[in-house]
A and B are shown apart, each in its own frame.
Chain A
Amino acid sequence: MTLLKLKNLSLTIQDKPILKSINLEIKNGEVYGLLGESGCGKSMTAAAITQLLPKFSKLGGKVSFDNNNFIGKSDLEMCKIRGNQIAMIFQEPMTALNPLQTIGNQIAESLLIHKKCSPAKAIKKAGEALGRVGLDATKISPNLYPHQLSGGQRQRVMIAMAIILRPKLLIADEPTTALDVKTQSEILNLLQDLVTKDKVSLLLITHDIAVIAKLATKVAIMKDGELLDSGSTSTVFERLSHPYTRQILSDSIPQKLNLSLINTKKLLEVKSVSKTYQRKFGVNIFNKFNLPILKNISFSINDGECLGLVGESGCGKSTLARSILGLETLESGSITLSGFPISLNQKTKRNVRSRIQIVFQDPFSSFNPRHQIAKIISEPFNLLDKKLDKKIKTNLLLETILNVGLTKDDLIKYPHQFSGGQRQRIALARAIIIKPKLIILDEALSALDVSLRNNMILLLQKLSLNYKLSYLFISHDIHLVKAITNRVLIMQEGTIVEFGKTQEILNGPKHPYTRSLIDSTPSIPESWFKRLEDQNIA
């Protein structure tokens, strides 16, 4: 039975084409994956189905749901369908719930608007819905407010809200992207369970092939507002009949980073570093509590190597990175670079600090939007003891910008004129211009689409050769870490639980935490790559 059918669906917003003649069919009880990179129009497809479109949108074609065409329906008519027959789950668990209402009330609200139901009964049903999404009623009461829950729990509340009326279609828009690996796998399992138990259809929108591989029986691949390839998931990825499908599959295998200059000389040494955060509570200056954030951390980075640092958000990765950069006061322990100490209270010498630079995750907030690229890239000159000659500076700027694959003209542009991938190149340019020894890559590849990732890795390899660089690669992505790093640190709640050769640790983890991290990371089936290899050989 066909539940949802999009026929020649097209969408323009302010006369700009967003979707071009989309055709797809979702049957009862199936998981349909919609795969594409950021900005390809996949979220807009969901918005078009539920008719929750921005102003000045124009729809064409047909959206038929249960043999009922949505296009041209009034907003009030759609209100009766939304939440009742079609429910949605969004990406941002932290902001998608109203902070001022209890989760019970928010879940019960769907019941109250769509069904005749007393408030008391609705709350009781909300409690049951919480149970169905795996939130223990004895621990998570419906009277709690969103800020009292973790990100994963909030996402479960979102799901409870969506399924309470047992809708026929569930649309999940990047439901796990903002979550940690372990929570991600739990949520995916939950969605899978609901689909089998309730016979609900799921439209799963994601950029991640591994998520599709785990859940979706059918898939459609989208690019620039068009569906390029669709069919049953295994057929699509094993046949690889469309070149774009082949491309995204091959892009999703991370490029190996070839480090030829590794030697055993220690570049950076971190010795039993500890730090507690004094967190202020409320507005009162007398109320403080101490939060241990780094507990007795010791490791070292060798010359020319790429060391991975893996851990979930909030485990202390970023604090450790800032400590290495000399931006944090340490309580105990020491950090030295080629034997010279780094720390805030000892007024680390500038020439020591100039040996370490960093590239951040978010390519959009990394640069002052009011500065030209030339000014942005030359900021590290500030760390040099003597002022450089203007001519030398210009030459260095030019050399650096060319080295990261941009052009001379880009120097006089502003950050907003560049795409995300180009911005990460600019960030790298800023990092290498004063020829440091170590670059910290703080989730530097995480915000990039897979198609850009491998080029960046090739660039990292080239730069490591040209500039004799070492990298500290901070990431939550096990696959990436496996491809890029030669040694890895696994961090959990401020302590290092495992440290050693990447291949040894990730192929045979000893610590239960490492094992659970690896197990919960969704991966792409080997069979899909086989065809890819065959084609490459042919």
Chain B
Amino acid sequence: MLSYLWARLFTLFVSLVLSSLIIFILIEAVPGDPASFMLGINATDETIEALRKELGLEEKILNRYFNWLIGMLSGDFGVSYTYRVPVQDLILERLIVSLPLTILSLTLAIFIAFPAGMIAAQFQGKKIDFSIMAASQVGIAIPNFWFAMILVLIFAIHLRWFSAGGFYGWDSGIVLGLKSLTLPAISLALPQASILSRVIRSSILNTLTEDYIRTARAKGLSQRKIISKHAFKNALIPVLTILGLQFSFLLAGAIIIENVFFLPGLGRLIFQAITQRDLIVVESVVMLLVFSVILVNFIVDLLYLIVDPRLRK
């Protein structure tokens, strides 16, 4: 068990170092140098020189990389060039929108997908299975931002139940805050729930062909008990894997959906930063996104440990 844990921790560490290196090198590779790139063609030599100093571009590349890393570890992500505020403050301000959105839609997806997938598996080949599978097939095919637009058209423009976009802010109360996240979360959850329910169904059906299921039948367990006591937990292992992989889709989806609803989240921040050529913000936000994907997969690895005793040697 310890060796598994150490191996995972080691992988986590190496992945973080390597991914930060990749991001750093890519940002370094901009045409010209970062300072002149950020200022555009109209910049004078003096302003470029000033920015170079501010960014520390005079230093050696390796030093800069380590300074960046050490800075991030101590919570200092640098100063945004366009906003003139520390990047960590910007990120934090946006994270309180993006993080609840992601968690909300993930929860929603799980709560839809598990019952749907399990029902489809239990009634395999029946009408209800067919309907759930057909619905999920369509759910996968719908682009989430288009679904978001249709939700806006129906619930905001026609029914006027929700506002078409924007965020009230948590200061105006949790209810209002959650209300402005409802449509975004639903549109994000739809494709996730569709994929997940298919994975859950097929994973349970696969598990049901195992020899130990036959053993359970011979013991006199009913089909329902077999699914809940034997198939479900065993089917969870591949589902966990997919859940971890899906997280990166969820993040990407959140960035796009924030644009549909004009939510002031990380997605909006990064697109503004791209148009304003604020490389420091881009670099930090991308690092944060990649970090969260790696972290989630690490957590999934730890969950395996709870589910599967074979790893606990």
Contacts and interface: CB of A to CB of B under 8 A. Distances in A.
Contacts of B233: 100
Interface stretch (B20-28, B46-54, B212-220, B288-296): B212-220
B217 A82 contact: yes
A282 B7 contact: yes
Contact of B218 (A52, A100, A147, A282): A52
Nearest to A76: B222
Given A82-B220, A83-B219, A284-B7, A100 B225 contact: no
Interface in B1-26: 3-4, 6-8, 10-11
Given A82-B217, A145-B309, A283-B11, 19 more contacts: A82-B218, A82-B219, A83-B219, A83-B221, A84-B220, A95-B212, A97-B212, A98-B216, A100-B309, A101-B230, A102-B309, A110-B219, A113-B219, A113-B221, A114-B220, A281-B3, A282-B4, A283-B7, A287-B3
B126 interface: no
Nearest to B212: A98
A76 B309 CA distance: 32
A109 interface: yes
B171 interface: no
Interface of B: 3-4, 6-8, 10-11, 210-212, 214-223, 225, 229-230, 233-234, 307-310
A100 B222 contact: no
A485 to B, nearest CB: 35
Interface of A: 50, 52, 75-76, 78-84, 87-88, 90, 92, 95-102, 109-110, 113-114, 145, 147, 158, 161-162, 281-284, 287
Given A100-B233, A283-B4, A287-B3, A75 B223 contact: yes
B231 to A, nearest CB: 10
A100 B307 contact: yes
Contacts of B216: 98, 109
A79 B214 contact: no
Contacts of A287: 3, 7
B7 A113 contact: no
B65 to A, nearest CB: 26
A100 B234 contact: yes
A413 to B, nearest CB: 30
A146 to B, nearest CB: 9
B222 A98 contact: no
B212 A145 contact: no
Contact of A83 (B218, B229, B230, B307): B218
Nearest to A164: B219
A147 B8 CA distance: 22
A52 B6 contact: no
A100 B220 contact: no
Contacts of B309: 99-100, 102, 145, 147
A99 B10 contact: no
Given A99-B309, A100-B234, A281-B3, A88 B218 contact: yes
Given A75-B222, A282-B3, A282-B7, A100 B214 contact: no
B221 to A, nearest CB: 6
B10 A95 contact: no
Contacts of B218: 50, 52, 82-83, 87-88, 90, 162
Nearest to A50: B218
Nearest to B225: A113
Contact of A161 (B219, B223, B308): B219
A109 B11 CA distance: 39
Given A282-B3, A283-B7, A287-B3, A79 B221 contact: yes
A383 to B, nearest CB: 40
